[in-house]
Structure 1
Amino acid sequence: MLPLAFASPALLFALAALPLLWWLLRFVPPRPRRVAFPPARLLLDVEPKEETPARSPWWLLLLRLLLAALVILAAAGPVWNPPPATREAAGPLVLLIDNGWTAAASWERRMAAAEAAITEAEAGGRGIAVVPTAEPLRDVSIRTPSEARVRLRALKPQPFTPDRRVILPGLEKLLSSAGEAGLVWLSDAADTGDGAAFVTALGRLAEGRPVTVLAGGLPPARALAAAANSGAGLSVTVLRASAAGEASGIVRAVDLKGLPLGQAVFAFADGALEATATFDLPIEIRNDIARLEIVGERSSGAVQLLDERWRRRTVGIVTGSTADTAQPLLAGGFYLGRAIEPFADVRLAERTSPSEAVDRFIDMGLPLIVMADVGTLTGEARDALIRWVEAGGILVRFAGPRLAAGADELLPVRLRPGGRVLGGKLSWEQPQKIGGFAKEGPFAGLAVPSDVTITRQVLAEPDGLLFERTWAALTDGTPLVTGSRHGKGVVVLFHVAADTSWSDLPLSGTFVEMLRRIVALAGSGAGPAKGAGTAAATGEAGATAAGTVPPARLLDGFGAFQPPGAAAKPLPAGFRGRGTPDNPPGFYGVAEALVAVNTLAPQDRLAPLDLAPLDATVEAYRAGDPIDLRRHVLALAFGLFLLDALIVLAMAGGLARLGAARRASGVAVLIAAALALGAGDVKAQGAKAAPPPPSVDEFALHAAAKTRLAYVVTGDAEVDRISRAGLEGLSRFLAQRTALESAEPIGVDPARDELAFFPLLYWPVVPGVRAPSPETLARIDAFMKNGGTILFDTRDALEAAPLERGAATPGMAGLRTILSALDIPALEPVPRDHVLTKSFYILRDFPGRYASGQLWVEALPAASGDEDARPARSGDGVSPILITSNDLAGAWAIERSGEPMLPLVPGDLRQREFAYRVGVNIVMYVLTGSYKADQVHIPALLERLGQ
């Protein structure tokens, strides 16, 4: 669909008059003919027939019809890249915005479309409600356009898969109270599982209302899911929401430090929504991969995090049977190998004694060893195995004739001598089924199979610990699998054989899943200690570990790591689900045993969003801002009018009567007219880009309507742009973390504008600044003495700290120029007990884009010369001046997409977060300084009052 709309489309009906204009322009009077004298020659040329008027040339008719069509089009108000249609409804506008991870890759385009919709509604004098679909509806109401913009800038993509249906009750309440409200839905065009139900419900709620849906025109969301580290390599499933867009790409693998380890190419088949990327890397390198990401895709869904559960373990199998070579299908090692191969590398000890095999596997550093029907190890092999388990190894033992005849002490429970035969000719007992799995064990959640029969087992001596060490039991309550901690390691015992002589458990799928979960307890092959630490921290050992793990590094909606916020909660150690609002995707736990939580679960899939049940106008996202084409069309029409005049003049013979000089002057006049028209068009565009400054009353109404942050306009376009973007970023952070929802920041000129409307004024000092006039200095001095605070920022912390004695940086020189004629108090670096360190966040430093500078405030006089006996506060107010060199606005500045505008120095992981916290503390200190001072210094005040 062509991105073109008209402000007054009804005027296009005038195009139907073009055929009438064609008929009127068909004829023109015949041009006069010049006949040379004598009259006889004239008589010879006279034709006897009646002369009819000459017809106009077809190209002239076409030119005039085009000129008339252009005038009609200009009157209709053509707009290129029009905003979403919002003028059909007379009531408020409800702006529904998908802000899940699927919207992150093209977030800037979506925000531009939302801004255009708000601007369109503002032109019609309509209220606006901004409703995100990935956040719970809290205090959603119809607001003014300026408030809606503040709310819009506070939005950001969420890293989890939202359920849009949770907003339906609040949306229904909003629509019922909004009258004839129109609805615009900025959709991500992706169905993550709730699409059909949400669209159907939304259609019922919006019935009878004008609905516009923006979907399409943007690349479809792509994601990663179902990573698997198999013997053939590490593979991951690549998903996309529709068959449009690029059909191929690259998945990159990095380690915990962010170092690249490899790349894999994927390609979608025609019309397919799934593809596979496989990394053909050595197992040691695959086990170091911590993050998979689609190159060029900015979303948390395009990231797959891997922890110890995705590592490819190496398992050593030791069997005590002698029938392995002669009859391999009857050997326990055969069944164990086939069951473990899908998720681990198997090392089978062949033609060697159990003692030698155990020594070899321990020397190889394997994290898990399986011993099938090995009765007793003696000597150094037994001691080495005990040390290996206590250091963190996982030992899995299976019963058999040898173990039933006699076993060592390396078992989770004490065994009775001999075995228990079920269903034999000399037994009264019948074969048993599996009764269930312990809720606290690693098998919790497994379906109990009904087709597994146990005909023989080894019994455990009953004691007080048998119940809590039982992971699986038979229907009569006797244990099938037991496990316990030995030092840092785990010992597991299957009370049946690894082959089919004692049960048909090795033939079932349950056997494979049980071994998979036990192998998950082990490490990645780096040694026993690592395996034990993982088992203990993740809680996969059931009764041996429990509890929760705290968040460590979380993903934001764009797929970048960030420190955990206050809303993130710890999760259960054995968590296996997808990310949620309470547990966003990322890494949880300690560095030695991280638990990965991803945006998508292995079974999740993407699909195109079906909008058919919704009676709506579907439009595509536009590539740029709306452009009014009227002046361009009128300029073209005027040019065609001049061309038509020249043609008529030439056909009438007017040019022939003009001399060379007259023709040149006429051409010059036409050129000058065209240039004047172009200059007028450019002037009109410039006037739109830079409107005239508002009057004093307009400025006062605009500034006093709501609390705003302000900055001093320096005249340097780049500095002013960063100042505005920085205060916008700080305003967004304030809206997210505090109850303050400030309006858009505003630039002020101290020489002209009234400063009393602003509690805080950010003043970036530029080199070579001139000293303000005496009148301007008087206004600034009155502002500071009447309760206002000015934050001066020299932005040169890398060169010298502000107020440093002898400093000669350009910023310092400019600051001295400004302050030289002002009556300012004595200054000092912020003391450790100052209100600024505790007004909202607890701070020790005040970093910005740089971290080496200091923040200076009005000095608090010490009592009796004792610097530590500082009074609780200075008077009852706030410091009128703050000075820094850390470039705070540079750290706060954000692009329209929400991305940081400038890099940080030195660029610590949490430096930008602390810079925002510095801004919050400054704003809270300025707004509530007295109150905060009283609260922070209550102990000192009570002591002075004798309480």
Structure 2
Amino acid sequence: MLNALPLAFSAPLALAALALLPALWLILRVTPPRPRRIDFPPLKIMADLVAKREMPAHTPWWLLALRMLIAALAILAVAGPVWNPPREAGPLQGPMLLLVDNGFGAAADWPERLLVAESRVAAAAREGRPVALVGLAETSTEIALSEPRAALDRLRAFALQPHAPDRGAHLPRIETFLRTSPEAEVVWVADGLSVSDDAAFLARLRQEAGSGRLSIHAGPIDQLALTAPENLAGALAVKVLRPTASAAASGLVRALDLKGLPLGDAPFVFEGSALQTTARLTLPIEVRNAVSRLEIVGERSAGAVALLDDRSKRRRVGIVSGATTDTAQPLLSPTYYVSRALQPFAEIREPRPGSTDPVGELLAQNLSVLVLADIGALDPDTAGKINAFIQRGGVLLRFAGARLAAASDELTPVRLRRGGRTLGGGLSWETPRKLAAFTRESPFFGVPVNDDVRVSRQILAEPEADLSRKTWAALEDGTPVVTGERRGDGMIAMMHVTADTTWSNLPLSGLFVEMLRKIVGLAGTGPAEPQGEDARVETLSPTRVLDGTGSFRSPPATAQPVARSFTGRATLAHPP
């Protein structure tokens, strides 16, 4: 940079050509002027044959000056002038801390990001500085310095992970390293995807960098991603996301089965500057239930892949009521509210009018859930069919009512009190009671309780040692209102109120829909978990997992088994 002006040159050696300007001046000076066109006068020429001394012609001075100026400007342009360049901080002496996002967000342009990281390591090698390499999607370990060549080999061996980097987990060790190496240069090759703790991570990184340097390399982000799919009434729908309006405006989502065979494609288009759209696969329910993988065609990222399991299947739910024939007024039918609540996420089946064996008819249709609304005593044959259905993994959901209060069978999760209301059968409250918040052990945990829900009557459960464990929902005074128990590979659940609005206004609330959604989702979740002090939760070991590019591979050494009920986010220990 010049001392008098804030001007620098990217190629200062080119200025040496200015020394050639005097020679150029001489060359241009002896160049004869442009010939003039004149008429040929022979007599005049003959008269001027007298010999005389003549001066040679020269290029006009103004033309020489203009040509010299053009040559000087060309030399300056080749030198690459930079106005007000950043001031040099002097050569770096400390080590380099290289942070690399190697999660699925970097998969789309990983080769380009790898080149950036390699160039920074090569620069450190030329300056004789050691390098500390940290993969932010890896397990947090002690940060150690190494020779640039060793760091380069480790960098090229990085595997793209199918989850987002947990940058916050690495922050304590990064802070410790920067405190012991205050002159370190910090280079972060970021994937550009934002997570919840990004702002805090960057703030702490800038604070701890101290006298060192922090540079962030985040290339353009144009990859697409999928969210969790929904198996709706007429189609399998999945939301497609893009980071900016300049990313791809259209594409194709492909559905594949467990063998990787395509089952169907669904186009999607982003309207205008929208960052979200929906792709719908309109397929028969049997085909939709066979889908195990959705992917965006042309994308190579785990974020563009959605894996489906049994929880994503659209369940078949059969509904039988003790008042099936009372259909003149639908709002008075026990099945009306249940079927309306289940329609968004389940396929409803009801027996034919006048059927002599409604339960057997429905069980023959490959049900996932059987709903009995105020069904009294069951004959042995029907009870045997239902019990076999539960043992195979089906879910039985029972609703209370006058018939159930007067009957008795073993297909309930808890023992019910029988007889008249004064003896504790169907209990009526003088003041309707509200629901209590769901406990952590309840399948409904996390669902907000509607304060407007009131229960005016219910069937009570007999006290027993494990009643609290079987209670999924209770009133404010602790009285169970929803109970459940595993039987074999299936489950029995019971609502201690009616399926209509006779005993409560629960069927009129959105909470009723969410509770039924959770119960239906329990179908096919596996055998009962052992209980007691020596109980061990059954776990599943991964056989195939996704890598950062969305391809299947063998599980890494860091992959751990998960419980059947696992619903957490993907991590290094639990890859998708």
1:575 deviates by 1.5
Q: Could you tell me whether the CA contact under 8 Å between 1:251 and 1:277 is conserved in 2?
A: yes
Aligned to 2:361: 360
Shift in CA distance, 96/12, structure 1 to aligned 2, threshold 3 Å? farther
Aligned to 1:575: 566
User: Are 1:566 and 2:569 counterparts?
Assistant: no
Within the candidate set 104, 107, 128, 1:104 is matched to 107
More helix as a share of residues: 1
Q: Could you tell me whether the CA contact under 8 Å between 1:435 and 1:473 is conserved in 2?
A: yes
User: Are 1:394 and 2:395 counterparts?
Assistant: yes
1:391 deviates by 3.6
Q: Could you tell me whether the CA contact under 8 Å between 1:11 and 1:72 is conserved in 2?
A: no
Q: Could you tell me whether the CA contact under 8 Å between 2:25 and 2:64 is conserved in 1?
A: no
1:201 deviates by 2.7
Percent identity (aligned) = 45
Equivalent residue of 1:384, what SS?
Answer: helix
Comparing 138-147 with 220-229, greater Cα deviation is found at 138-147
Shift in CA distance, 428/148, structure 1 to aligned 2, threshold 3 Å? closer
Q: Could you tell me whether the CA contact under 8 Å between 1:419 and 1:459 is conserved in 2?
A: no
Aligned to 1:195: 198
| 1:923-943 per-position Cα deviation (integer Å, ceiling 9, x unaligned) | xxxxxxxxxxxxxxxxxxxxx
Q: Which amino acid aligns with 1:584?
A: P
Shift in CA distance, 55/280, structure 1 to aligned 2, threshold 3 Å? farther
Equivalent residue of 2:511, what SS?
Answer: helix
Q: Could you tell me whether the CA contact under 8 Å between 2:486 and 2:528 is conserved in 1?
A: no
Q: Could you tell me whether the CA contact under 8 Å between 2:319 and 2:373 is conserved in 1?
A: yes
Q: Could you tell me whether the CA contact under 8 Å between 1:332 and 1:498 is conserved in 2?
A: yes
- Mapped to 1, the partners of 2:138 and 2:269 lie a distance apart of 34
Q: Could you tell me whether the CA contact under 8 Å between 1:28 and 1:56 is conserved in 2?
A: no
- Mapped to 2, the partners of 1:169 and 1:372 lie a distance apart of 57
Aligned to 2:118: 115
Equivalent residue of 1:129, what SS?
Answer: strand
- Mapped to 2, the partners of 1:32 and 1:105 lie a distance apart of 62
Equivalent residue of 1:253, what SS?
Answer: strand
Instruction: Spell out the pairing of 1:339-738 with structure 2 (5 A cutoff).
Output: 339-349=341-351, 351-353=353-355, 355-378=356-379, 380-418=381-419, 420=421, 430-435=431-436, 437=438, 439-464=440-465, 466-522=467-523, 531=524, 534-536=525-527, 546-585=537-576
Aligned to 1:95: 98
Shift in CA distance, 476/28, structure 1 to aligned 2, threshold 3 Å? same
Shift in CA distance, 417/227, structure 1 to aligned 2, threshold 3 Å? same
1:57 deviates by 12
Unaligned runs of 5+ in 2: 1-7, 82-87
Equivalent residue of 1:499, what SS?
Answer: coil
Q: Could you tell me whether the CA contact under 8 Å between 1:432 and 1:474 is conserved in 2?
A: yes
- Mapped to 2, the partners of 1:292 and 1:59 lie a distance apart of 73
Within the candidate set 259, 268, 271, 2:270 is matched to 268
1:380 deviates by 4.4
The TM-score normalised by the length of structure 1 is: 0.52
1:58 deviates by 8.3
Shift in CA distance, 297/42, structure 1 to aligned 2, threshold 3 Å? farther
Equivalent residue of 1:490, what SS?
Answer: strand
- Mapped to 2, the partners of 1:356 and 1:15 lie a distance apart of 102
- Mapped to 2, the partners of 1:263 and 1:228 lie a distance apart of 16
- Mapped to 2, the partners of 1:484 and 1:231 lie a distance apart of 29
Equivalent residue of 1:513, what SS?
Answer: helix
- Mapped to 2, the partners of 1:342 and 1:433 lie a distance apart of 27
- Mapped to 1, the partners of 2:518 and 2:55 lie a distance apart of 108
| 1:523-574 per-position Cα deviation (integer Å, ceiling 9, x unaligned) | xxxxxxxx3xx332799xxxx9944322232222222222223322222321
Q: Could you tell me whether the CA contact under 8 Å between 2:24 and 2:68 is conserved in 1?
A: no
1:21 deviates by 9.2
Shift in CA distance, 56/49, structure 1 to aligned 2, threshold 3 Å? same
Q: Which amino acid aligns with 1:301?
A: G
Aligned to 1:926: none
Q: Could you tell me whether the CA contact under 8 Å between 2:430 and 2:456 is conserved in 1?
A: no
Q: Could you tell me whether the CA contact under 8 Å between 1:26 and 1:55 is conserved in 2?
A: no
| 1:483-519 per-position Cα deviation (integer Å, ceiling 9, x unaligned) | 3344443222211100111011112222222211111
Equivalent residue of 1:226, what SS?
Answer: coil
Equivalent residue of 1:157, what SS?
Answer: coil
Shift in CA distance, 169/484, structure 1 to aligned 2, threshold 3 Å? closer
- Mapped to 2, the partners of 1:118 and 1:58 lie a distance apart of 53
Equivalent residue of 1:89, what SS?
Answer: coil
Comparing 491-500 with 403-412, greater Cα deviation is found at 403-412
Q: Which amino acid aligns with 1:376?
A: A
- Mapped to 2, the partners of 1:322 and 1:87 lie a distance apart of 87
- Mapped to 1, the partners of 2:327 and 2:69 lie a distance apart of 99
Q: Which amino acid aligns with 1:573?
A: R
Shift in CA distance, 88/222, structure 1 to aligned 2, threshold 3 Å? farther
Q: Could you tell me whether the CA contact under 8 Å between 1:86 and 1:117 is conserved in 2?
A: no
1:335 deviates by 0.8
- Mapped to 2, the partners of 1:322 and 1:176 lie a distance apart of 75
Q: Could you tell me whether the CA contact under 8 Å between 2:221 and 2:243 is conserved in 1?
A: no
1:41 deviates by 3.3
Aligned to 1:53: 58
Aligned to 1:301: 303
Q: Could you tell me whether the CA contact under 8 Å between 2:167 and 2:201 is conserved in 1?
A: yes
Instruction: Spell out the pairing of 1:725-764 with structure 2 (5 A cutoff).
Output: none
Shift in CA distance, 265/538, structure 1 to aligned 2, threshold 3 Å? farther
Q: Could you tell me whether the CA contact under 8 Å between 2:239 and 2:276 is conserved in 1?
A: yes
- Mapped to 2, the partners of 1:380 and 1:335 lie a distance apart of 29
Q: Which amino acid aligns with 2:549?
A: F
1:112 deviates by 1.7
Q: Could you tell me whether the CA contact under 8 Å between 1:93 and 1:129 is conserved in 2?
A: yes
Equivalent residue of 2:168, what SS?
Answer: helix
1:280 deviates by 1.1
Shift in CA distance, 336/575, structure 1 to aligned 2, threshold 3 Å? same
Equivalent residue of 1:434, what SS?
Answer: coil
Q: Could you tell me whether the CA contact under 8 Å between 1:22 and 1:65 is conserved in 2?
A: no
1:469 deviates by 3.2
1:379 deviates by 6.4
The TM-score normalised by the length of structure 2 is: 0.83
Equivalent residue of 2:150, what SS?
Answer: helix
- Mapped to 1, the partners of 2:259 and 2:440 lie a distance apart of 36
Aligned to 1:161: 164
- Mapped to 1, the partners of 2:468 and 2:362 lie a distance apart of 32
Equivalent residue of 1:175, what SS?
Answer: helix
- Mapped to 1, the partners of 2:134 and 2:76 lie a distance apart of 41
Q: Which amino acid aligns with 1:583?
A: H
Equivalent residue of 2:129, what SS?
Answer: coil
Unaligned runs of 5+ in 1: 1-5, 78-84, 523-530, 586-947
Equivalent residue of 1:552, what SS?
Answer: coil
- Mapped to 1, the partners of 2:484 and 2:361 lie a distance apart of 24
Q: Which amino acid aligns with 2:558?
A: A
Equivalent residue of 2:527, what SS?
Answer: helix
Equivalent residue of 2:200, what SS?
Answer: helix
